[in-house]
Structure 1
Amino acid sequence: MTGVAFEDWALLAGDSPTSRTEWAAVVGSWTEPHRRYHDLAHLAAVLSIVDRLAGHATDPAAVRLAAWYHDVAYDSERDDNEAVSAARARIGLLGLVDPATVAEVERLVLLTAGHDPADGDANGAVLCDADLAVLAAPPEAYAGYASAVRAEYGHLSDADFTTGRIAVLEHLLALPTLYRTPEVTAAWTPRARANMTAELSLLRSRAAS
């Protein structure tokens, strides 16, 4: 898949036996069978948008590496996936990149838990905007995303999933700034808010019935 080839990884983490092993392990994690949205297609999409927005980052290489790891651990029955993914990045990148880059990648991965980087955090803005780009997709694509997320939570009843999904959407809609990269803020924000508001209305109506 474009964007997730070893050649793309090697530009960031070098070409060595250790790097090749780590790349294969990372890709393997993203192809776990239980994933319906948080899969290689999502990774490729995030990497593509990070590349598009890289000029806004202060450390584009760290942001790209953080994109590779941001959902490397994904289990819908856990609530610490970002922390596990960050720890996985710290261990996996040891010896492949310098310690400062490892620390920045770990920090950025942790940011994707709340998608609320501090003002002036250019690297965080680029990664979080890329991760949330799907929210501004055309309605049909957004519906496909929402359906895939529901499939990942197949172990939950409709009532429990609805409660949790409402909380997620309310959190995102309450963020003072949903997107922070100037290039996309004006175009993406209205579409994303419209998509989420429509889904939230549907979920609330289901919860009330």
Structure 2
Amino acid sequence: MDTDRAAAVDPIDVEVGFLTPALRSDLLERWNEPQRRYHNETHLRAVLRAVDALEADGEAFDATEVRLAAWLHAAVFDPTESENNERSAVFCERVLDPSAPVEEVARLVRLMGGHRVEVGDLNGAVLSDADLAVLGSDPETYDTYAADVRHEFAHVPGERFVAGRIVALEGLLERKSVYLTRAGRDMWEKQAHANLNRELGLLRAGAAG
């Protein structure tokens, strides 16, 4: 694969089966809603690029299903609500053509609510790793991600946000590995641990101080 050429192509513009021009336009409007600071078009683009990277590194999965799920996994997003993935899955079931792999795409969208992927679920593993690829990014990109998440949840009081964030980061670090695919571990695992431990240290220090 010509990775330089692939990186130059905007994944937003790549054709995906069953993603009609009308649906693509509607989804892009959704990804650019004003309440989104992290779960926006930049995140969508990053997830699609990560899917491409996993594919280029030899991971096997159903490309159409995973890319459709990437487009739809935060189609509905309200930071004050807790059922965004379920609502996105229902939206997916409503708007996709019946001839599309609707059941599998909706299943994958629901999985992103907690990244609880069963062993052997190749599609789920790839989408989960792509969604979490930001954790293994360079420190500056990671810090921007963390700040954007805090901005989205500005309605949550500081102490409560910090406590919840600490629990979330500890949960990721307690996993056997953050990433479920071999390619994801090779590309992002080491840097993800460095980023997560660094943020966790800062949060704990702030909470103690």
Partner of 1:156: 156
Does the CA contact (< 8 Å) of 2:72 and 2:109 recur in 1?
yes
Q: What is the aligned length?
A: 199
Matches for 1:101-140 after TM superposition, within 5 Å: 101-140=101-140
Q: Which runs of 5+ in 2 are unaligned?
A: 1-8
Report if the CA contact (8 A) 1:116-1:175 is conserved: no
Q: TM-score, normalised by structure 1?
A: 0.89
Q: Write out aligned runs for 1:118-197 (5 A).
A: 118-197=118-197
Residue 73 of structure 1 is matched in structure 2 by: 76
Residue 23 (structure 1) shift:
1.9
Match of 1:25 in 2: 26
Residue 42 of structure 2 corresponds to residue 41 of structure 1: yes
| Displacement of 1:58 | 3.0
**In structure 1, distance between residues paired with 2:135 and 2:124:** 17
The offset of 1:21, in angstroms, is 2.5
Cα offset, 1:186, TM superposition: 2.9
Inter-partner Cα distance in structure 2 for 1:109 and 1:57: 19
Question: Does structure 2 retain, via aligned residues, the 8 Å contact 1:137–1:191?
Answer: yes
Q: Which residue of 2 aligns with 1:3?
A: 11
CA contact (8 A) 2:37 2:151 kept: yes
Gaps of 5+ in 1: none
2:185 is matched by which residue type in structure 1? T
Pairing partner for 2:18 from 13, 29, 40: 13
Q: Is the 8 A contact 1:83 1:110 kept in 2?
A: yes
* Cα separation, partners in 2 of 1:127 and 1:2, compared to 1, 3 Å: same
1:117/1:124 contact within 8 Å kept: yes
Tell me the distance in 2 between the aligned counterparts of 1:171 and 1:111: 16
Once the two structures are TM-superposed, the CA of residue 148 in structure 1 deviates from its matched residue by: 0.8
Q: Spell out, residue by residue over 1:124-161, the C-alpha distance to the aligned partner (whole angstroms, 9 max, x if none).
A: 11101100000001111111110111111111221121
Identity level (%): 42
Superposed CA RMSD: 1.7
Q: 1:174 to 1:108 in 2, by over 3 A?
A: same
Cα deviation for residue 165 of structure 1 reads 1.2
Q: State the distance in 2 between where 1:68 and 1:91 align.
A: 15
Q: C-alpha displacement at 1:106, in angstroms?
A: 0.7
Q: Which residue of structure 2 lines up, in the alignment, with residue 90 of structure 1?
A: 93
**What letter matches 1:185 in structure 2?**
R
Q: 2:95 & 2:80 partners in 1: Cα distance? A: 24
